Structure 1
């Protein structure tokens, strides 16, 4: 299997290359290209989320037989040397924020799926994601 990954500086450059036939496909947050997608200039063939996204009729990759689930992640990372009490306080603030009405509105507006992980669950998730990424890069000949 051959994968040619090209990183662009931003979404605008990537869209220009796509419409200029300089690349055959794009992996992009749907929210960032919704105007183009909704205008039917691009066709979404799958979403990487666990479930279909609200408001669009696009199947998940899992529905199509691919064992792939990827979320759009926003990580809050903390320096390892900070005190446990500081980490706990920051974690509590973030959890409280994710339970707010304002956060619910942001999720709805952007079509995001809520997924809050902390502590060991977050540590395990990061370890598994990096192991998976290393495996994919190895299969693609990048490592």
Structure 2
């Protein structure tokens, strides 16, 4: 949705598909090595404020992507010029984690589900998750950015859409099918295994949510000179 706000899909926009079901969500996060000197988000931001070049942030996406936007918004709230950030774009999240483990970057921006396997081995420390409230279960030990003084939420919705010419009858069949799926224990188990979190929204409410999110992303992109 963020890329759509920047016109990278050509003439196609969020209005050229029919949004049918959101089935889960992930959340943005920022993490460091387990032995990094930054014990919390403020410590990392303080280092960036003192010398933006001292903190190299890696991510599996280019400038203007969701991963870049998260840290750019964090920097802006802290009074740091995002253009002065040292940001390294990798081919994917796995490469950015490898760079962090090798101490080639000091922090990574990504999605929470990407780094859950590393938490149990104590190789990495998540400084903040960009969720409205703390995550459930054992993950609740990780603080949100909001409670650390940074008004930043970044949900990453996983879902499905249909083509613009699908019939109303077929659209309703898919909506009803997803409504049933989202309530099944088998689906919930699969969602949990993939380290995703509950976010159930189908039909018109989802369409309204997506379009509102895109409008917000477009405003954010414009603020950083990434969209017209």
- TM norm. shorter chain > 0.5: yes
Q: Give TM-score scaled by structure 1 length.
A: 0.83
- Tell me if 1:27 matches 2:102: no
Q: Which runs of 5+ in 2 are unaligned?
A: 1-80
1:15 aligns with 2:97: yes
Give the deviation of 1:102 after TM superposition: 0.7
Equivalent residue number for residue 106 of structure 1: 190
Q: Measure, in 1, the Cα distance between the counterparts of 2:133 and 2:196.
A: 11
Q: Please report the TM-score for the alignment, with normalisation by the length of structure 2.
A: 0.55
Would you say how many aligned residue pairs link Structure 1 and Structure 2? 143
Partner SS state of residue 156, structure 2: coil
Q: Say which SS state the counterpart of residue 28 (structure 1) adopts.
A: strand
Aligned-partner Cα distance in 1 for 2:152–2:193: 25
RMSD between superposed Cα atoms in Å: 2.2
The alignment status of 1:117 with 2:197, answered yes or no, reads no
Q: Displacement of 1:23 after TM fit?
A: 3.6
Q: Displaced runs of 4+ in structure 1, greater than 4 A?
A: 3-7
- Taking the TM superposition and a 5 Å limit, the aligned residue runs for 1:1-143 are 1-2=81-82, 6-53=88-135, 54-56=137-139, 57-143=141-227
Cα distance in 1 for residues equivalent to 2:97 and 2:161: 30
> Quick check: 2:178–2:202 contact (8 Å CA) kept in 1?
no
Residues of 2 paired with 1:85 and 1:66: CA distance? 45
Higher RCO (CA-CA < 8 Å; seq separation 6+): 2
Per residue, is there more strand in 1 or in 2? Answer: 2
